[in-house]
Amino acid sequence: MSRSLFATIAAALMLVAAGSAQSEKKWVFNKGEVETYVRHLWVLPPALGLTVGDPKPAADLPGFQEVAVKITQGQASQDITIYVSNDGKILQGNIYDIHLNPFKKDLDRLKTQFQPSLGTPGATVVLVAFSDFQCPHCKAEAQMLRQNLVANYPTQVRLYFIDFPLEALHPWAKAAAIGGRCVFRQDPGSFWEYHDWVFGHQESITPENLKEIVTIWAKDRKDVDSLQLGQCIDTKATEKEVDAEMEEGRALQIEGTPTVFINGRRIQNSMTWPDLKATIDNEIEYQKVAKNAGEDCGCDLQLNVPGLPKTGAPVVKKN
Protein backbone atom coordinates (compact mmCIF):
# COMPACT_ATOMS: atom_id res chain seq x y z
CA MET A 1 0.00 0.00 0.00
CA SER A 2 1.43 3.38 -1.01
CA ARG A 3 2.51 6.02 1.48
CA SER A 4 -0.04 8.46 -0.03
CA LEU A 5 -2.87 6.00 0.58
CA PHE A 6 -1.82 5.62 4.22
CA ALA A 7 -1.85 9.41 4.53
CA THR A 8 -5.35 9.63 3.03
CA ILE A 9 -6.74 6.97 5.39
CA ALA A 10 -5.12 8.63 8.39
CA ALA A 11 -6.57 12.00 7.45
CA ALA A 12 -10.03 10.48 7.05
CA LEU A 13 -9.82 8.82 10.47
CA MET A 14 -8.76 12.10 12.03
CA LEU A 15 -11.79 13.85 10.50
CA VAL A 16 -14.16 11.14 11.79
CA ALA A 17 -12.61 11.35 15.26
CA ALA A 18 -12.88 15.12 15.28
CA GLY A 19 -16.51 14.97 14.18
CA SER A 20 -17.33 12.34 16.81
CA ALA A 21 -15.67 14.38 19.56
CA GLN A 22 -17.62 17.45 18.47
CA SER A 23 -20.92 15.54 18.45
CA GLU A 24 -20.21 14.14 21.94
CA LYS A 25 -19.41 17.56 23.37
CA LYS A 26 -21.51 18.07 26.48
CA TRP A 27 -24.00 20.91 26.72
CA VAL A 28 -23.53 23.11 29.78
CA PHE A 29 -26.77 23.53 31.71
CA ASN A 30 -27.95 27.13 31.65
CA LYS A 31 -31.08 28.23 33.52
CA GLY A 32 -31.62 31.26 31.31
CA GLU A 33 -31.45 29.18 28.16
CA VAL A 34 -33.87 26.61 29.60
CA GLU A 35 -36.29 29.36 30.67
CA THR A 36 -36.26 30.95 27.21
CA TYR A 37 -36.81 27.58 25.57
CA VAL A 38 -39.73 26.42 27.74
CA ARG A 39 -41.41 29.84 27.63
CA HIS A 40 -41.50 29.47 23.86
CA LEU A 41 -42.46 25.79 24.06
CA TRP A 42 -45.43 26.39 26.39
CA VAL A 43 -46.34 29.85 24.96
CA LEU A 44 -46.00 31.57 28.33
CA PRO A 45 -46.66 35.34 28.30
CA PRO A 46 -44.26 37.67 30.15
CA ALA A 47 -46.90 38.28 32.84
CA LEU A 48 -46.38 34.74 34.13
CA GLY A 49 -43.41 34.19 36.39
CA LEU A 50 -41.16 31.25 35.64
CA THR A 51 -38.43 29.83 37.87
CA VAL A 52 -36.06 27.10 36.75
CA GLY A 53 -34.70 25.04 39.65
CA ASP A 54 -31.24 23.58 40.08
CA PRO A 55 -30.68 20.34 38.15
CA LYS A 56 -30.17 17.08 40.02
CA PRO A 57 -29.41 13.61 38.66
CA ALA A 58 -32.58 11.81 37.56
CA ALA A 59 -32.65 8.60 39.58
CA ASP A 60 -34.86 6.80 37.06
CA LEU A 61 -33.29 8.13 33.87
CA PRO A 62 -29.49 7.78 33.52
CA GLY A 63 -27.88 10.54 31.49
CA PHE A 64 -30.62 13.05 32.37
CA GLN A 65 -31.00 15.67 35.07
CA GLU A 66 -34.29 16.34 36.81
CA VAL A 67 -35.29 20.02 36.80
CA ALA A 68 -38.24 21.56 38.65
CA VAL A 69 -39.94 24.43 36.82
CA LYS A 70 -42.42 26.66 38.67
CA ILE A 71 -44.92 28.89 36.86
CA THR A 72 -46.53 31.62 38.97
CA GLN A 73 -49.23 34.24 38.66
CA GLY A 74 -49.95 36.10 41.86
CA GLN A 75 -50.56 33.50 44.59
CA ALA A 76 -51.36 30.76 42.08
CA SER A 77 -48.60 28.44 40.94
CA GLN A 78 -47.96 25.25 39.01
CA ASP A 79 -44.95 22.93 39.29
CA ILE A 80 -43.70 20.95 36.31
CA THR A 81 -40.83 18.48 36.19
CA ILE A 82 -38.70 18.21 33.08
CA TYR A 83 -35.65 16.07 32.33
CA VAL A 84 -32.65 17.54 30.55
CA SER A 85 -29.93 15.38 28.99
CA ASN A 86 -26.24 16.16 29.07
CA ASP A 87 -26.41 17.21 25.42
CA GLY A 88 -29.41 19.52 25.87
CA LYS A 89 -32.39 17.34 25.02
CA ILE A 90 -35.56 17.98 27.07
CA LEU A 91 -38.02 15.28 28.06
CA GLN A 92 -41.39 15.95 29.65
CA GLY A 93 -43.58 13.11 30.86
CA ASN A 94 -43.81 10.17 33.22
CA ILE A 95 -41.18 7.46 33.63
CA TYR A 96 -42.33 3.96 34.54
CA ASP A 97 -40.33 0.91 35.61
CA ILE A 98 -42.15 -2.32 34.77
CA HIS A 99 -40.61 -3.95 37.84
CA LEU A 100 -42.16 -1.42 40.24
CA ASN A 101 -45.57 -0.03 41.10
CA PRO A 102 -46.30 2.61 38.42
CA PHE A 103 -47.22 5.09 41.16
CA LYS A 104 -44.28 4.37 43.44
CA LYS A 105 -42.95 7.93 43.28
CA ASP A 106 -46.16 9.33 44.76
CA LEU A 107 -46.55 6.40 47.15
CA ASP A 108 -43.16 7.21 48.62
CA ARG A 109 -44.21 10.82 49.16
CA LEU A 110 -47.60 10.13 50.73
CA LYS A 111 -47.44 10.32 54.52
CA THR A 112 -50.41 9.00 56.45
CA GLN A 113 -48.84 9.08 59.92
CA PHE A 114 -51.10 10.77 62.46
CA GLN A 115 -53.84 11.48 59.88
CA PRO A 116 -57.55 10.87 60.45
CA SER A 117 -58.57 7.55 58.94
CA LEU A 118 -61.61 5.36 58.28
CA GLY A 119 -61.69 1.68 57.52
CA THR A 120 -59.71 -1.36 58.53
CA PRO A 121 -55.94 -1.25 59.15
CA GLY A 122 -54.20 -3.60 56.73
CA ALA A 123 -56.62 -2.83 53.89
CA THR A 124 -55.80 -3.83 50.31
CA VAL A 125 -56.64 -0.38 48.95
CA VAL A 126 -55.66 2.93 50.57
CA LEU A 127 -57.32 6.21 49.58
CA VAL A 128 -55.62 9.46 50.58
CA ALA A 129 -57.86 12.50 50.12
CA PHE A 130 -56.41 16.01 50.00
CA SER A 131 -59.35 18.26 50.75
CA ASP A 132 -60.49 21.79 51.62
CA PHE A 133 -63.41 22.33 54.01
CA GLN A 134 -64.65 25.37 52.05
CA CYS A 135 -64.45 23.72 48.62
CA PRO A 136 -67.91 22.79 47.22
CA HIS A 137 -66.50 19.92 45.12
CA CYS A 138 -64.73 18.60 48.22
CA LYS A 139 -68.04 18.64 50.08
CA ALA A 140 -69.73 16.57 47.38
CA GLU A 141 -66.88 14.08 47.27
CA ALA A 142 -66.63 13.84 51.06
CA GLN A 143 -70.34 13.07 51.36
CA MET A 144 -70.09 10.47 48.58
CA LEU A 145 -67.15 8.75 50.29
CA ARG A 146 -68.83 8.76 53.71
CA GLN A 147 -72.06 7.32 52.31
CA ASN A 148 -70.51 4.56 50.23
CA LEU A 149 -66.94 3.63 51.08
CA VAL A 150 -67.14 1.71 54.35
CA ALA A 151 -70.61 0.37 53.52
CA ASN A 152 -69.28 -1.27 50.34
CA TYR A 153 -65.77 -2.12 51.54
CA PRO A 154 -65.86 -2.76 55.30
CA THR A 155 -62.45 -4.49 55.34
CA GLN A 156 -60.78 -3.88 51.97
CA VAL A 157 -60.38 -0.10 51.88
CA ARG A 158 -58.92 2.52 54.23
CA LEU A 159 -59.38 6.28 53.79
CA TYR A 160 -57.02 8.96 55.08
CA PHE A 161 -57.90 12.67 55.18
CA ILE A 162 -55.25 15.36 54.62
CA ASP A 163 -55.95 19.10 54.75
CA PHE A 164 -55.04 21.18 51.71
CA PRO A 165 -56.83 24.52 52.18
CA LEU A 166 -56.67 26.85 49.17
CA GLU A 167 -56.11 30.07 51.08
CA ALA A 168 -56.17 32.32 48.01
CA LEU A 169 -59.74 31.21 47.24
CA HIS A 170 -61.23 30.18 50.58
CA PRO A 171 -60.76 32.59 53.52
CA TRP A 172 -61.88 30.25 56.34
CA ALA A 173 -60.62 26.92 54.98
CA LYS A 174 -57.33 26.94 56.88
CA ALA A 175 -59.00 27.96 60.14
CA ALA A 176 -61.40 25.04 59.71
CA ALA A 177 -58.43 22.74 59.06
CA ILE A 178 -56.76 23.97 62.27
CA GLY A 179 -60.03 23.32 64.13
CA GLY A 180 -60.22 19.82 62.70
CA ARG A 181 -56.71 19.04 63.89
CA CYS A 182 -57.65 20.40 67.33
CA VAL A 183 -60.60 17.98 67.46
CA PHE A 184 -58.38 15.12 66.27
CA ARG A 185 -55.91 15.86 69.07
CA GLN A 186 -58.65 15.44 71.65
CA ASP A 187 -60.38 12.43 70.14
CA PRO A 188 -59.49 10.94 66.72
CA GLY A 189 -62.93 9.37 66.33
CA SER A 190 -64.69 12.71 66.78
CA PHE A 191 -62.80 14.17 63.84
CA TRP A 192 -65.21 12.51 61.41
CA GLU A 193 -68.19 14.05 63.19
CA TYR A 194 -66.48 17.43 62.81
CA HIS A 195 -65.68 16.64 59.16
CA ASP A 196 -69.32 15.83 58.37
CA TRP A 197 -70.67 18.80 60.34
CA VAL A 198 -68.40 21.41 58.72
CA PHE A 199 -69.07 20.17 55.20
CA GLY A 200 -72.78 19.97 56.02
CA HIS A 201 -72.82 23.62 57.20
CA GLN A 202 -70.40 24.94 54.59
CA GLU A 203 -72.80 27.56 53.22
CA SER A 204 -73.44 29.18 56.62
CA ILE A 205 -69.84 29.37 57.87
CA THR A 206 -67.86 32.61 57.63
CA PRO A 207 -64.40 33.62 58.83
CA GLU A 208 -66.09 35.63 61.58
CA ASN A 209 -68.43 32.94 62.98
CA LEU A 210 -66.33 29.79 62.50
CA LYS A 211 -64.98 29.53 66.05
CA GLU A 212 -68.31 30.36 67.67
CA ILE A 213 -70.39 27.77 65.83
CA VAL A 214 -67.68 25.10 66.07
CA THR A 215 -67.51 25.47 69.85
CA ILE A 216 -71.33 25.30 70.01
CA TRP A 217 -71.12 22.05 68.03
CA ALA A 218 -68.51 20.73 70.47
CA LYS A 219 -70.75 21.30 73.52
CA ASP A 220 -72.95 18.42 72.42
CA ARG A 221 -70.02 16.02 72.02
CA LYS A 222 -69.06 13.94 75.04
CA ASP A 223 -65.50 13.32 73.81
CA VAL A 224 -64.66 16.93 72.89
CA ASP A 225 -64.05 19.71 75.43
CA SER A 226 -65.48 22.89 73.87
CA LEU A 227 -63.35 25.25 76.02
CA GLN A 228 -60.17 23.40 75.15
CA LEU A 229 -61.20 23.41 71.49
CA GLY A 230 -61.79 27.17 71.54
CA GLN A 231 -58.37 27.80 73.08
CA CYS A 232 -56.74 25.54 70.51
CA ILE A 233 -58.39 27.47 67.68
CA ASP A 234 -57.53 30.87 69.22
CA THR A 235 -53.84 30.00 69.66
CA LYS A 236 -53.64 28.17 66.33
CA ALA A 237 -52.01 25.34 68.26
CA THR A 238 -52.27 22.94 65.33
CA GLU A 239 -51.27 25.34 62.56
CA LYS A 240 -47.86 23.69 62.12
CA GLU A 241 -49.62 20.39 61.53
CA VAL A 242 -51.77 21.95 58.81
CA ASP A 243 -48.73 23.66 57.30
CA ALA A 244 -46.98 20.28 57.15
CA GLU A 245 -50.00 18.79 55.36
CA MET A 246 -49.99 21.65 52.86
CA GLU A 247 -46.26 21.22 52.29
CA GLU A 248 -46.81 17.54 51.57
CA GLY A 249 -49.45 18.50 49.02
CA ARG A 250 -47.11 20.96 47.34
CA ALA A 251 -44.35 18.32 47.22
CA LEU A 252 -46.86 16.10 45.40
CA GLN A 253 -47.57 19.01 43.02
CA ILE A 254 -51.27 19.04 43.89
CA GLU A 255 -52.92 21.80 41.89
CA GLY A 256 -56.47 21.74 43.25
CA THR A 257 -58.97 20.03 45.49
CA PRO A 258 -60.27 17.47 45.82
CA THR A 259 -57.31 15.29 44.86
CA VAL A 260 -57.46 11.63 45.83
CA PHE A 261 -54.78 8.97 45.59
CA ILE A 262 -55.97 5.37 45.22
CA ASN A 263 -52.99 3.16 46.06
CA GLY A 264 -50.91 6.00 44.66
CA ARG A 265 -53.02 6.57 41.53
CA ARG A 266 -53.76 10.29 41.33
CA ILE A 267 -57.37 11.32 40.70
CA GLN A 268 -57.51 15.09 40.21
CA ASN A 269 -61.16 15.46 39.29
CA SER A 270 -64.26 14.50 41.22
CA MET A 271 -65.49 11.00 40.39
CA THR A 272 -68.95 9.51 40.53
CA TRP A 273 -69.35 6.58 42.91
CA PRO A 274 -69.69 4.01 40.07
CA ASP A 275 -66.42 5.21 38.51
CA LEU A 276 -64.62 5.25 41.85
CA LYS A 277 -65.97 1.80 42.71
CA ALA A 278 -64.73 0.44 39.39
CA THR A 279 -61.25 1.83 40.10
CA ILE A 280 -61.21 0.32 43.59
CA ASP A 281 -62.42 -3.07 42.30
CA ASN A 282 -59.70 -3.04 39.65
CA GLU A 283 -57.06 -2.28 42.29
CA ILE A 284 -58.31 -5.07 44.59
CA GLU A 285 -57.96 -7.61 41.76
CA TYR A 286 -54.56 -6.27 40.67
CA GLN A 287 -53.15 -6.40 44.20
CA LYS A 288 -54.00 -10.09 44.50
CA VAL A 289 -50.98 -10.66 42.27
CA ALA A 290 -48.89 -7.47 42.45
CA LYS A 291 -48.94 -6.89 46.23
CA ASN A 292 -47.04 -3.62 45.80
CA ALA A 293 -49.47 -1.14 47.40
CA GLY A 294 -52.09 -0.94 50.11
CA GLU A 295 -51.52 -1.75 53.75
CA ASP A 296 -51.51 -5.52 53.32
CA CYS A 297 -48.64 -5.59 50.83
CA GLY A 298 -45.99 -6.45 53.42
CA CYS A 299 -44.46 -2.99 53.16
CA ASP A 300 -45.97 -1.26 56.21
CA LEU A 301 -44.63 -0.59 59.67
CA GLN A 302 -47.00 0.28 62.51
CA LEU A 303 -45.41 2.71 64.93
CA ASN A 304 -45.84 1.93 68.62
CA VAL A 305 -46.33 5.43 70.03
CA PRO A 306 -47.08 5.47 73.79
CA GLY A 307 -50.39 7.10 74.59
CA LEU A 308 -51.57 7.27 70.98
CA PRO A 309 -55.16 6.02 70.58
CA LYS A 310 -55.39 2.92 68.42
CA THR A 311 -57.73 4.64 65.95
CA GLY A 312 -55.00 7.16 65.21
CA ALA A 313 -52.17 4.68 64.79
CA PRO A 314 -49.82 5.96 62.11
CA VAL A 315 -48.67 3.97 59.14
CA VAL A 316 -45.23 4.39 57.63
CA LYS A 317 -44.86 3.30 54.03
CA LYS A 318 -41.75 1.30 53.17
CA ASN A 319 -42.28 0.73 49.42
Least confident of 20-24, 67-71, 184-188, 215-219: 20-24
Residue 319 has what pLDDT?
36
Q: Superfamily for 104-317?
A: Glutaredoxin (3.40.30.10)
pLDDT confidence band for 27 (50 / 70 / 90): confident
Condensed to tens digits (0 to 9), the pLDDT of residues 150-196 reads 999 999 999 999 999 999 999 999 999 999 999 999 999 999 999 99
Mean pLDDT of the chain: 87
Going from N- to C-terminal start, the domains of the chain cover: 31-91, 104-317
Residue 77 has what pLDDT?
82
User: DSSP per residue over the chain, as a string?
Assistant: --HHHHHHHHHHHHHHHHHHHHHTPPPPP-HHHHHHHHHHHHT--TTSEEEE---EE-TTSTTEEEEEEEEEETTEEEEEEEEEETTS-EE-S----TTS-TTHHHHHH---TT--EEE-TT-SEEEEEEE-TT-HHHHHHHHHHHHHHHHH-TTTEEEEEEE---TTT-TTHHHHHHHHHHHHHH-GGGHHHHHHHHHHTGGG--TTTHHHHHHHHHHT-TT--HHHHHHHHHHTTTHHHHHHHHHHHHHTT--SS-EEEETTEEE-S---HHHHHHHHHHHHHHHHHH--SSTTSS-EEE---TT--GGG--EEE--
